[in-house]
Chain A
Amino acid sequence: MARIELSRLAHSYLRRPDGAEDFALKPMDHVWEDGEAYALLGPSGCGKTTLLNIISGLLRPTSGQVLFDARDVTGLPTEERNIAQVFQFPVVYDTMTVHDNLAFPLRNRKMPEQAIRARVREVAEMLDLVPTLERRAGALASDARQKISMGRGLVRTDVSAILFDEPLTVIDPHLKTSLRRKLEEIHKESKLTLIYVTHDQTEALTFADKVAVMHEGEVVQVDSPQALFEYPAHTFVGYFVGSPGMNFLTCELDGRFAVVDGHRIRLADDTPEGAERVGGTFELGIRPEFLELVFDKRKDGMRAKIIQVDDFGSSKIVTAAAGRNILRVKLAEEDEVRGEFGWLVFPPERSLLYRNSRLLREPAERER
């Protein structure tokens, strides 16, 4: 178990990268605290797997350092890093039995056979693999094979961290939840550092204590699921987390007010003042869950035309056009949509300000 620190880490797959767009990972500093379960969330191609392969040592970063408990391991090969990694598609040794598969990493590390038997048994029990222990791994179905893959990661007792690279892709949906819960239990018992890569927000938000969101080779926010929802640090987090994504409206600033199409909207109290003097592109961000829609004219409301109402059974998503902006509002199932026009009301405490895609918020006020 270890605290993993990335220091000025950057990677490019090109031999002579020039310019930021050549980098699969932009320079980053980040710490994975010891014993926490992290989810690494981001769309395909954002650099999640690259980051994982650098931590495990399968890839050597172009620049920067990887530190395990303050020890620099950047130059060390995987074998010397005490790290386990589970891949997206099951990797099993087909000709070995399930038992031998699970025992393989331990045998390679010269653990006594007696101890191996006990440990393999333990892990097999965790993953419900006991009935198949003496069967050949190649003959099993893909979810059992992926369990073996995960088991080979979990079986080692010496690991600093276990990295999971979208391990549940090939698993049946109904098994996914139970396996994920299993992983959570294992984490609670063992207090291992876990990094779990996924592009599925539900998976990320339910699995981890902390979610790191990646976007174009950058970790844009590392926070609890609640903070990701309430205070997305980057417009991308707003879009990517939550369904539907956050509303963003290009705006101008006037003191504590955002001005959208001439309409003044009061911003949250912890929004710093005087941002307009620094310049940049400003956007007002608000979650569809927090935006209010009323059908009686209100002075502080923004007039909007109702374009579409999608009924999800337990809630309604209303799409409305206000000036050049299209906004989504999430209403409770019993709320009625009356008429063609409505008034959008922005609760000040939920109206966040973004400059050049990044959240502007007084750091002192951030509850932790």
Chain B
Amino acid sequence: MRKIENNKAWFLVLPVFLLVAFSAVVPLMTVVNYSVQDIFAVDNRVFVGSEWYREILRDPGLQNALLRQLVFSIAILIIEIPLGIAVALAMPRRGRWASLTLVVLALPLLIPWNVVGTIWQVFARADIGLGGVLITQLGIDYNYAANPMDAWATVLVMDVWHWTSLVALLCFSGLRAIPDAFYQAARIDGASGWAVFRYIQLPKLKNVLLIAVLLRFMDSFMIYSEPFVLTGGGPGNSTTFLSQTLARLAVGQFDLGPAAAFSLIYFLIILLFCWLFYTTMMQMGRGPKA
């Protein structure tokens, strides 16, 4: 076929450009615009350059929130990814039980975030909540409203309850896609159960695990409603994560300039981590080995 060389292609991608412009570029640029100005009123604003960025990066409250956020997200990944894989491996592979398990696992994913927060707020209360009372009965001094460690544990358990299913479902679909011949070959090679997991299942799960890690990282890094409803960020600031800090700054104090600068930094951090996870995981088990 003869190759046609002209600029018509640009015309064909124009709709996509427009869509992306209005859905992403324009709002993002508005935020960039805010982040470099001090706004007093609609017609009274001053260009301040990088001042807000410097202020945000120096703010110890924000630094602490970032640290908490990182610890939280990494803890979530460390718990939910292996647990999700374990659940997927333990699930019945086909038949009626498989469908039933799928439905049960999908239930937490269907509950709105703030409802999850409310459920756990009641469930974990040391005075009237089923879970809270049980723990107290066991002789453990537990109160998530007063003790930061208890609050952290509750937020973590709540997130694990809410989102491990997602990892499990992704892994389940990944496991289902492995042809039987691999398991048969492993039996003929005399492979142990661990070897089957390590050399067949895990490598074949790589792509779904990448998606699971990215989704769980992004979601947990932006977590807002559940701790907001459960602990309100407390006790003290112990469960105040980045998004809550940002909301306080932007909506509570109406500091649009610093909040915009904060948003952009927030966005870049997520982008950076996703890129890191993506590149390292894609490199795993690939290419020539020396």
A interface with B by C-beta (< 8 Å): 53, 56, 58, 77-79, 83-85, 87-89, 91, 93-97, 104-105, 108-109, 134-136, 138-139, 149, 152-153
Contacts and interface: CB of A to CB of B under 8 A. Distances in A.
B2 interface: no
8 contacts: A58-B187, A84-B188, A87-B185, A89-B179, A93-B199, A108-B195, A135-B289, A153-B188
Interface in B21-80: none
B189 interface: yes
Contacts of B182: 91
Given A89-B181, A138-B285, A56 B200 contact: no
A104 B286 contact: no
Interface string B257-290: 0000000000000000000000000000111111
Contacts of B190: 79, 105, 108-109
Nearest to B199: A93
Nearest to B185: A91
Interface of B: 179, 181-182, 184-185, 187-192, 195, 199-200, 203, 285-290
B181 A91 contact: yes
Contacts of B179: 89
Contact of A139 (B184, B188, B287): B287
A149 B188 CA distance: 12
Nearest to A87: B181
Nearest to A108: B190
Contact of A138 (B188, B191, B192, B286): B286
Given A95-B203, A138-B285, A104 B188 contact: no
Given A53-B184, A93-B200, A104-B189, 7 more contacts: A78-B188, A85-B188, A89-B181, A93-B199, A93-B203, A105-B190, A108-B189
Given A91-B182, A93-B199, A95-B199, A152 B287 contact: no
A93 B183 CA distance: 11
A134 B289 contact: yes
Nearest to A84: B188
A94 B285 contact: yes
A88 B290 CA distance: 30
A361 B110 CA distance: 73
A83 B192 contact: no
A1 B179 CA distance: 29
Given A56-B188, A58-B184, A85-B188, A136 B203 contact: no
Nearest to B189: A105
A53 B185 CA distance: 11
B47 to A, nearest CB: 54
A334 B288 CA distance: 58
A153 B195 CA distance: 18
Given A87-B181, A94-B203, A95-B199, A152 B189 contact: yes
A94 B200 CA distance: 8
A85 B189 CA distance: 9
Contacts of A84: 188
Given A78-B187, A84-B188, A108-B190, A139 B181 contact: no
A108 B185 CA distance: 13
Contacts of B288: 134-136, 139
B143 to A, nearest CB: 47
A53 B187 CA distance: 12
A88 B182 CA distance: 11
Contacts of A95: 199, 203, 285
A58 B180 CA distance: 11
A271 B180 CA distance: 49
A89 B181 CA distance: 8
Contacts of B200: 93
Nearest to A136: B289
Nearest to A78: B187
Contacts of B185: 85, 87, 91, 149, 152
Of the listed residues A88, A93, A138, the one surrounded by the most CB atoms of chain B closer than 10 A to its CB is A93
B175 to A, nearest CB: 16
A78 B186 CA distance: 10
Query: For B185, B285, B287, which residue has the most chain A Cβ atoms within 10 angstroms?
Result: B185
